Amino acid sequence: QLQLVESGGGLVQPGGSLRLSCAASGSTFDYSHIGWFRQAPGKEREGVSCITVGGNMRNYGDSVKGRFTISRENAKHMVYLQMNSLKPEDTAVYFCAAARSAYACFTRAPSDFQSWGQGTRVTVSS
């Protein structure tokens, strides 16, 4: 199973920026589509963004479109989420997850992803 570890979370003021990283280990990374999810207290896990194996397809949830950018460096087995213009409602634990099927990037449904990281906490507050 692919192992995923998130990093880069922290406390940031509204309007600020953070870059989250997802480090993957395992031979299946180059065959995996990677999504970013977030979960705030009392809320369901939300699909934030997704990127396919070659990076040709990238998409975003409506709430983050225009502010967040997903990217990957396959040679480094890394996926990133650049978050700009952060808002208090972006506060959540952020997870990266891997899927075998590109369809998962279309749905961004948690149930379509097979491997998960432990999460990194993002707090946006003044």
pLDDT tens by residue, 65-95:
999 999 999 899 999 999 999 999 999 999 9
pLDDT tens by residue, 105-118:
999 999 999 999 99
Confidence (pLDDT) at 34: 97
Confidence (pLDDT) at 126: 94
Of 83, 114, 87, 85, the residue nearest 98 (C-alpha): 114
Residue 64 has pLDDT above 90, yes or no: yes
SS3 80: strand
Confidence (pLDDT) at 29: 85
Rg (CA), the chain: 13
Identify the burial level of 56 via C-beta atoms within 10 angstroms of its C-beta, where 0-12 means exposed, 13-18 middle and 19 or more buried: exposed
% pLDDT > 90, the chain: 90
In degrees rounded to 5, what are phi and psi of residue 105?
-70, -25
Q: Give the E-state strand segments of 26-119 in sequence order.
A: 33-39, 46-51, 58-60, 68-73, 78-83, 92-99, 115-116
